[in-house]
Structure 1
Amino acid sequence: MPKPLLNFKYLTFDVVGTLIDFEGGLKDCLAGIAAEAGTTVDGEAALTLYREARYAPDVGLFPDDLVRVYSVIAPKLGLPAGTRFGERLRDSAASWAGFPDSRDAMARLAKRYKLIAMTNAQRWAFTHFSRELGDPFYAGFTADDTGVEKPNPAFFQQVFDYVERDGGSKDDILHVAQSQYHDIGVSRSLGMTNCWIQRRHAQKGYGGTIEPAEFTQPDFHFRSMAELADAVDAAAEEAKAASA
């Protein structure tokens, strides 16, 4: 059995896909380009093409890499060619919305835990994401900060080192994420307690996120950030009642 939710001091978070609706952001931007060109795009088909292009050998840092990605997927989607459209897709990241429950859930969780972001996005994009979420983070780690991307264990090790300097340990961390490939599998292999936020619970497939080689059963499993925050609040109420 995992540790009780109230026994953790830190919550570490995947950001893009867990807190920020990057799939919706990508689809909205591509749909806008398509409409101007007098055509339409299938959103799920676009995510499949995005996933294939994003995880090619010549990838760059995200979301700057979306300029390259657009050049790969545009012909297959019947969209106009041109660097300006790729730059438009990249720049759209600055206005991607959080999931409807993210901001409130993070505010609630920040009352009980130190919240740490662990994102494969670059620092410039994370600045926008954090603002969208109400700047709830105690600390944040990005791809250009760490020099690596998840699921590379070296990314996680830098967070472990930070937490130790802060007076905690790996055992004090609950890692929260939607990506089985980038987060849940590797966090398990590193001995972390994890929490899977199954954002695509009502949809088939993995959308814009690469499919894992194998599914990892998480320690905690919720369909939204609201459900996690509710579970924490309920645990706190139970503890308060038990001590009364």
Structure 2
Amino acid sequence: MDFTAFKAVSFDCYGTLIDWETGIAAVLAPWAAEQDLTIGHEDLLLVYADHEAAVEREEPAPLYPEVLAEAFRRVGAQLGRPVSDAWARRLGDSVPDWPAFPDSGEALNRLARHYRLIILSNVHRAGFAGSNERLRGDFAAIITAEDVGGYKPGERHFRALDETLPRLGVQRSELLHAAQSLFHDHVPAKREGLPSVWINRRHDKPGWGATPEPSETWRYDAEFPSMSTFADAVDEAFVSRAR
């Protein structure tokens, strides 16, 4: 893949730049302990994944904190334990507290030397604003679920992206999409004909974590285990072109 052929990179944020699994488990795990559930973090995330996706599909209008809260209630129902409103709010309000992956900020700074950077995220504006205090990314555009009134893998983010690119002086053929989630991002990237990079954050873990297993076909054009290795490959490509 010729990384020098692109002028912009759109990013999924949560799972790619922000460690949402650690953030979600930081709430689900103490709730499970309070309920005397003997279930590990990975199994909790596995239970959670399909519920969040189902809420987003069934109820596209509510903001992400409400999606998190309802998904948590459904986790409790499946496991036969109550989720109080306080616990549901705790997860819903936790997005700004979720940690960034250690390499995200530095990698974004390097990539910004070569590309316009765009966020394409399933969260709400306030949630991303809190996350960007950790990332400190220089983003040319930020497109959230709140902006488009729906959630990926639906098409609304991508229609908003189509409207945004001309304002940035970027043609669609000059856009690369980078994301961890095959379900949320690489399935629609294939559908939309977008070249994509898989940031495989779970390369050393079994299973799908907080992301549902995709039921539709996906594709990606390159794979990296981290943002830093992706940025390394991009830097190398531009250095080689300049020789």
Common fold: TM-score over 0.5: yes
Point out the more displaced range, 161-170 or 28-37. 28-37
State which of 7, 19, 25 in structure 2 corresponds to 1:27: 25
State how far apart, in whole Å, the 1-side matches of 2:182 and 2:35 are.
36
> What's the Cα RMSD here?
2.0
**Alignment counterpart, residue 204 of structure 1, candidates 185, 203, 206:** 206
CA gap of 1:190–1:75, structure 2 versus 1, over 3 A, is: closer
- Structure 1 CA distance, aligned partners of 2:80 and 2:23? 19
Q: Supply the AA of the counterpart residue of 2:192.
A: L
TM (norm. structure 2) is 0.90
TM-score (norm 1): 0.90
**Structure 1 residue 210, shift from structure 2 partner:** 1.5
Which structure 2 residue ranges, 5 or more long, are not aligned? none
Partner of 2:73: 71
Task: Give 3-state SS (helix, strand or coil) of 1:221's partner.
Answer: strand
Contact 2:120 2:144 in 1 (8 A): yes
Question: Is the contact between residue 100 and residue 134 of structure 2 (CA under 8 Å) also seen in structure 1?
Answer: yes
1:45 to 33, 43, 55: 43
For structure 1, the 5+ residue unaligned runs are none
User: What amino acid is aligned across from residue 43 of structure 2 in structure 1?
Assistant: A
Q: 1:69 to 1:152 in 2, by over 3 A?
A: closer
Worse overlay, 212-221 or 96-105: 212-221
Q: C-alpha separation between the residues in 1 aligned to 2:90 and 2:18?
A: 18
Query: How far 1:78 sits from its partner (Å)?
Result: 7.2
How far did residue 189 of structure 1 move? 2.1
Q: Using the TM superposition, give the Cα deviation of residue 34 of structure 1 relative to its aligned residue in structure 2, in angstroms.
A: 4.4
Kept in 2, the 8 Å contact 1:33–1:79? The answer is: no
The alignment-based identity, stated in percent, is 36
Query: Distance in 1 between the 2:181 and 2:81 partners?
Result: 28
The amino acid that maps onto 1:220 is A
Between the aligned partners of 2:189 and 2:83, the Cα distance in structure 1 is 39
Deviation of residue 233 (structure 1)?
1.2
Q: Please, which of 116, 120, 136 is the counterpart of residue 118 of structure 1? A: 120
Q: Which residue of 1 aligns with 2:173?
A: 171
Distance in structure 1 (CA, Å) of the matches to 2:19 and 2:201: 9
Cα distance, 1:75 vs structure 2: 5.3
Moved over 6 A (4+): none
> What's 1:18 paired with?
16
Q: More deviation in 52-61 or 125-134?
A: 52-61
Q: Which residue of 1 aligns with 2:145?
A: 143
Deviation at 1:82, TM superposition (A): 1.2
